[in-house]
């Protein structure tokens, strides 16, 4: 143990690829599957909308394989056309995109398909499809809310391939402040398949909104589209200002811009909204075209956000893009009360208790070889509690293998999984999807995936509780002079 101080398409091939994609759509209802896991520090969204109703669903971070169609059961009931749906992607690769929106709706490059999309939304279920060649969305997270009506809802409107539908909303105010939602209805049911556009052999699928003004919004359906036979647009003015607003940021084609929001807390509890603007006279204005990215004849278009952390978020504009010359990020924190058509609703939040045996200040940091690690054993309050979150105080953050053990025999209570920690300091890892309910002592910790990184904070100040352990397989060594900075968050049952 070591301690220290510190992808030009051939049309036939592309047509076959598209056929394969559509077959997956038809196959989904007969072959749903679900694997549940967790990416990192997700908390169930308990933020509320001041006009929102009480239903909400959060899948937590869920593992998904390339080419997999996953069906999640939410059982919210009501009219799914009125739901607010949000899908995030988790790239668990070291140095990857972290929490991101790249490839949202799907993206094809040289006959290879990347990204994720949601589809087949009903009153009880929703399906998520990860395209077959994707490398950056090993995990996905779905949130669904049933909000009260926004300031404008178009209802379902027929859209003609290759045409623009102009809708009159008369919301007024400043269009820059709007949150605009767009859903499709077509071969994939209610969906976001090919959201923003998907090119296959230069044939374009999907739809986008564009030219948002104080009284109108346009929706363009691409010429060969199958997914957006009908479209539905909502326009809302948020009740509260965002906790972070970048304003319109100029971004050059082919560049990245990292914005510092410094909001802290848990980034997975954030509500993030990216807007793009084409400032060209006669252009698309505020729009969602090529959301997540698009490739045509070897050229790349669109913009996305990626690498969301508790202090920063990165914007990426693809090298040949012509319609996203300004980008704006708005982030809301969960404590605020507001309505966003793609985000929020009110429901009671469980009272959380944080179990801790350190004083919050590290005296030293510890690390070990790959496959070995650390644990802290906890005594929860009387009665049954659910373990909803782990907290690790880390330096030089790297992916770790998260474990929850019973106290008596140190057997795993869940299948260990990889969490992509990103913060210097406290890193929260969501455990809520695992439904870990205990009525006595349990242990929580991690094993190294990379030798000696990250390092774990250790508290040497008295009192020393004797609940910290070095872990090497079946061998556990109790630490008598230090408290490892690992904490557990529980809620009563």
pLDDT tens string 129-179? 999 999 999 999 998 887 767 899 999 999 999 999 999 998 999 999 999
How many DSSP H helices and E strands does the chain contain?
1, 45
Determine which of 217-226, 331-340, 352-361, 444-453 has the lowest per-residue pLDDT on average: 331-340
| pLDDT of residue 8 exceeding 50 | no
**187 and 317 both lie in a single domain:** yes
| pLDDT of residue 195 exceeding 80 | yes
Structure tokens at 244: 């972070």
Backbone angles phi, psi at 236, to 5 degrees: -135, 150
Q: Give yes or no for a contact between 298 and 285, defined as CB atoms under 8 angstroms apart.
A: no
pLDDT of residue 21: 53
Side-chain-side CA neighbours of 24 within 13 Å: the count stands at 24
Q: Any idea what the Cα angle at residue 188 is, between residues 186 and 194, rounded to 5°?
A: 85
- Mean predicted confidence (pLDDT) in 374-396: 93
In a domain, 341, yes or no: no
* Last residue in a domain, options 298, 332, 366: 332
Structure tokens at 445: 């910790």
Neighbour tally for 7: CB within 10 Å: 13
First to last CA, the chain: 38
At 107-121, the pLDDT tens digits run 999 889 999 999 999
**286 and 187 both lie in a single domain:** yes
Nearest to 485 by CA among 446, 452, 448, 435: 446
Three-state DSSP at 12 gives helix
**324 and 366 both lie in a single domain:** no
At 280-308, the pLDDT tens digits run 999 999 999 999 999 998 999 999 999 99
**322 and 409 both lie in a single domain:** no
Three-state DSSP at 115 gives coil
Three-state DSSP at 61 gives coil
**242 and 110 both lie in a single domain:** yes
Structure tokens at 152: 């404008």
**23 and 144 both lie in a single domain:** yes
Determine which of 31-35, 87-91, 125-129, 247-251 has the lowest per-residue pLDDT on average: 31-35
- Give dist(CA 116, CA 293) in Å, integer: 12
Give the global pTM: 0.64
Per-residue exposure over 433-472, b if at least 16 CB sit within 10 Å of its own CB, e if not = bbebebeeebbbbbbbbeebbbbbbbbeeeeebebbbbbe
Neighbour tally for 370: CB within 10 Å: 13
Three-state DSSP at 245 gives strand
**372 and 292 both lie in a single domain:** no
**206 and 319 both lie in a single domain:** yes
- Mean predicted confidence (pLDDT) in 314-318: 97
Domain that holds residue 367: 352-492
Q: Give yes or no for a contact between 267 and 423, defined as CB atoms under 8 angstroms apart.
A: no
**323 and 372 both lie in a single domain:** no
In a domain, 339, yes or no: no
- Give dist(CA 358, CA 457) in Å, integer: 10
- Give dist(CA 228, CA 221) in Å, integer: 7
* Last residue in a domain, options 287, 303, 332: 332
When pLDDT is cut at 50, 70 and 90, the band that residue 343 belongs to is very low
Determine which of 56-65, 93-102, 391-400, 470-479 has the lowest per-residue pLDDT on average: 56-65
**197 and 291 both lie in a single domain:** yes
**231 and 367 both lie in a single domain:** no
In a domain, 173, yes or no: yes
Structure tokens at 285: 């204005």
pLDDT of residue 210: 98
At 232-287, the pLDDT tens digits run 999 998 878 899 999 999 999 999 999 999 988 778 778 899 999 999 999 999 99
Q: What is the CATH number of the domain that holds 363?
A: 2.60.120
- Give dist(CA 468, CA 466) in Å, integer: 6
**315 and 364 both lie in a single domain:** no
* Last residue in a domain, options 269, 298, 332: 332
Number of domains in the chain: 2
- Give dist(CA 228, CA 115) in Å, integer: 19
Residue % of the chain over a pLDDT of 90:
67
């Amino acid at each position: 143990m070591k301690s220290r101080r510190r992808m030009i398409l051939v049309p036939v091939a592309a047509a076959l690829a598209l056929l394969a994609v559509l077959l997956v759509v038809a196959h989904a209802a007969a072959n749903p599957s679900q694997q549940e896991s967790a990416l990192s520090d997700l908390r169930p969204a308990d933020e509320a909308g001041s006009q929102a109703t009480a239903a909400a669903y959060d899948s937590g971070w869920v593992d998904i394989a390339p080419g997999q169609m996953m069906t999640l059961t939410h059982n919210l009931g009501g009219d799914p056309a009125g739901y607010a749906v949000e899908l995030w992607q988790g790239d668990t690769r070291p140095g990857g995109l972290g929490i991101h929106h790249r490839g949202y709706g799907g993206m094809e490059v040289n006959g290879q398909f990347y990204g994720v999309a949601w589809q087949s939304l009903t009153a009880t279920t929703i399906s998520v499809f990860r395209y077959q060649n994707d490398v950056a969305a090993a995990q996905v997270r779905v949130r669904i809310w049933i909000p009260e009506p926004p300031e404008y809802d178009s209802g379902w409107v027929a859209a003609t391939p290759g045409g623009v539908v102009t809708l009159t909303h008369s919301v007024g105010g400043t269009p820059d402040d709007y949150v605009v939602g767009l859903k499709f209805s077509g071969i994939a049911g209610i969906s976001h398949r090919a959201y923003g556009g998907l090119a296959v052999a230069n044939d374009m699928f999907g739809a986008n909104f564009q030219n948002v003004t104080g009284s109108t919004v346009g929706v363009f359906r691409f010429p060969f589209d199958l997914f957006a036979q009908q479209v539905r647009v909502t326009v809302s003015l948020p009740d509260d200002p965002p906790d972070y607003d970048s304003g319109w940021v100029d971004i050059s084609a082919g560049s990245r811009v990292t914005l510092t929001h410094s909001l802290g807390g848990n980034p997975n509890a954030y509500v993030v909204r990216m807007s793009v603007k084409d400032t060209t006279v006669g252009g698309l204005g505020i729009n969602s075209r090529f959301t997540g990215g698009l490739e045509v004849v070897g050229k790349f278009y669109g913009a996305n956000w990626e690498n969301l952390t508790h202090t920063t978020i990165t914007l990426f504009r693809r090298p040949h893009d012509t319609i996203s010359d300004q980008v704006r990020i708005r982030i809301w924190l969960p404590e605020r009360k507001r309505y966003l058509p793609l985000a929020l609703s009110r429901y009671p939040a469980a009272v959380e208790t944080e179990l801790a045996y350190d004083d919050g200040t590290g005296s030293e940091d510890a690390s070990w070889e790959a496959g070995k690690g650390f644990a802290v054993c906890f005594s929860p309050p009387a009665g049954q509690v659910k373990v909803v979150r782990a907290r690790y105080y880390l330096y030089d953050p790297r992916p770790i293998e998260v474990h929850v053990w019973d106290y008596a025999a140190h057997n795993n209570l869940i299948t260990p999984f990889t969490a992509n920690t990103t913060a210097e300091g406290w890193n929260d890892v969501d455990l809520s999807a695992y439904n870990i309910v205990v009525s006595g002592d349990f242990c929580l910790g991690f094993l190294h995936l990379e030798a000696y990184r990250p390092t774990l904070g250790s508290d040497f100040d008295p009192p020393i509780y004797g609940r910290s352990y070095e872990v090497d397989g079946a061998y556990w060594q109790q630490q008598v002079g230090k408290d490892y900075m690992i904490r557990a968050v529980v809620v009563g049952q």
